[in-house]
Chain A
Amino acid sequence: MALLEIEDLHASVDGHEILKGVNLTMNAGEVHSIMGPNGSGKSTLAQVLARRETYEVTRGKVLFDGKDLLEMKPEDAACQGVFMAFQYPVEIPGIGNAYFLRSAMNAVRKYHGQDELDAMDFLPLYKERLKLLEMDEKLMNRSVNEGFSGGEKKRNEILQLAMLEPKLAILDETDSGLDIDALRIVAQGVNAMRSPERGFLVITHYQRLLDYITTDFVHVLVDGKIARSGGPELALELEEKGYGWAETEAGISA
């Protein structure tokens, strides 16, 4: 059984159709990259999979681990093992990072009927993961993403990924706005989390993230549809020829 099966997915926001029939199948252990020009629907796809309610699915189906993902609320999807690293991580003043993360982990554990983690169970793992992402322990006591630099916010997303250990990790343009050092650290975090049980959907505008994260498949999303799919070499081709080429290939561009 595939980890994720997307079939003829159509989605709109405010009555404006953005996804116009996306098909994609991925297995556990694989890394799929979705590339495409701005406005092609990459982030919409991520948000729909994370079950954001502002996006309306008008047609199609999505199975996650054999279950109907589109029936799930965001928290159900998260507890079942879907994780989206936000393109724009949200600041939440007044809630400490460590407290937030432990609450999230405990929500997932509770969902599966497991005992909650206390601070003693939580801290050693947290500290280890902070080190993996080269993050300062002082961040623990600060409010979620508040006053964080762009790079710190993105690393914090990967930190959450590393703590929550989802089955499906969606990275929504995690590389955008990162300098090369931060990019390397983020990639290192992602690579450390790769496993035969886990799938990655890496959404990116640029090929350079794929220099650090080895991808199995590349899909090019153009105007709400996957225009081309291929191996890692497709990313290089895109880098060289630009998205105009893919658009022409798909017969969409003027």
Chain B
Amino acid sequence: MVKATERLGNYLTAYGEVLAQGEKREPVWLRQLREDAWSRFDAKGFPTTHDEDWRFTNIAALARMPFRRAPQGNAGLTAKDLERFRFAGAACQMVFVNGRFAPTLSELGNLPKGLEVCPLARALDCGAGGWAPEGCAPEGIEQHLGRYADVRRDVFAALNTALWEDGAYLRFRRGAIIEQPVHLLYVSAGAGSEIMTHPRNLVVAEEASQVAVVEDYVSIGDEAAFSNAVTELAAGQNAVVSHYLIERENFAATNVSTLRVEQARGTNIASHSILLGGGLVRNNVHPVLAGEGAECLINGLFVGAGRQHLDNYMMVEHAQPQGGSRQFYNGILTDSARGVFHGRIIVHKDAQKTDAKQTNRNLLLSDNARIDTKPQLEIHADDVKCTHGATIGQIEEEQLFYLRARGLDEKSARNLLLYAFAAECLDRMKEPAAREFAENLIRARLADLSRGAVAATAIEAAEENVQSWEEVG
């Protein structure tokens, strides 16, 4: 059998460089994690569309691209370049340029009490150098890092574990209530083409803390970068955590991001994903309700135009009784964009009285747009409630006529309906600052859609006058 790395030599090179860079600094357990993960990737290689989890997303082209690690440094970026990406009301902002922490571009002043923020490499003393965080307590990292992300099942998680160089380490102390979100900004910029980064984040929300984290991916320039991020979020008993993923990179970018949440008893977790940018995006959300009475909300919006491909892979595991999960994903696709919603719910034998719900609604605004939506329920307990549903449709003619009959011109009416469809996901966001931030981004994206190619294709759809909402699954 040909090993993956015989074909994927660029990854082997990167792996060698990362190992050399961490030599003598990285703890033994971390090197073991890397080695295990690497051998997994080496044996398995990238998935193909024969793999059920990747049936609707072909990454053959991605696998062929000779991605390499980014050079060190800030790519000449200044604070001014990032101005437009910041958001008001964040507790602090960590900026990563091409996968590495950029202290001079970050804003970490006056951290609220109970919040510890540190670049992960620095926390493990991997030699990011030059910046010594105050009050950062890395002692808990070993018990969490790499314990949740599944390198056996998920090749991208394996690749990330082998190759990560930096990311955010956030620790929210027991009982801390941090009302303002922590903003993590990942910038790909100015490093030439075919740069890959593997950001690795660890968020530890201790017992009864209440916090929000925003992961935000942007690009400056139009180079084709590949970002493969993994975030492990460990939520202690009764912790309340909101996680936001915002993908707004350029349309040449590939972004694979994996959120793995470990939920202790009584935790309440919300995952909000807003996919607006990126050419090829895979959004993995995988909470495990490992304690009794845990709740999770998985909320998302994906908006695709041109040839964007936005794949959402949800996997909710109920491992203990009395858990609840609700999934709501709305997709808007136009031009030749393609969306995927794969909603898998696994209810383990002990997870009695589980209540799991899943809804995926999609608007297709052009003939060539396409959505594949696939619910997948695996239920091993006998006293559970699981529901799922998916709809695919166009803008409803009745609603459009109602608005026009009150005086709104067709374009405004259509925009308003699109916005209303998108805004359903905003209603589920609890943090006002993050919600407003997301709202502005969504509004801007929809305005772009209606200015661009969407105008022509949307009118086509209206002329067809099709109102059928197809029930799937």
Contact = CB atoms under 8 A, between A and B. Distances in A.
B87 interface: no
B402 A90 contact: yes
| Residue from the set B399, B420, B424 with the largest chain A CB neighbour count within 10 Å | B420
Contacts of B397: 54
B408 interface: yes
| Residue from the set B406, B412, B413, B423 with the largest chain A CB neighbour count within 10 Å | B406
B398 interface: yes
B417 interface: yes
Interface string B375-403: 00000000000000000000001110111
A129 to B, nearest CB: 15
A50 B405 contact: yes
In the A-B complex, the 3 residue pairs with the smallest Cβ-Cβ separation, listed nearest first, are A94-B420, A104-B406, A107-B407
B269 to A, nearest CB: 25
Given A75-B404, A89-B402, A93-B424, 10 more contacts: A52-B405, A54-B465, A74-B405, A75-B407, A75-B409, A78-B406, A94-B427, A103-B412, A107-B408, A111-B407
B408 A95 contact: no
A35 to B, nearest CB: 23
B389 to A, nearest CB: 15
B409 A107 contact: yes
Interface string A83-117: 11010011011110000100111011001000000
Contact of A79 (B402, B403, B407, B410): B407
A89 B420 CA distance: 17
A83 B406 CA distance: 7
A73 interface: yes
A73 B399 contact: no
Interface residues of A, number: 30
Contacts of B412: 103, 107
A141 B420 CA distance: 14
B402 A108 contact: no
A111 B423 CA distance: 28
Given A73-B410, A104-B407, A107-B408, A52 B417 contact: no
Nearest to B422: A94
A164 B407 CA distance: 10
Nearest to B402: A90
Interface in A161-216: 164
Contacts of B416: 95, 100, 103
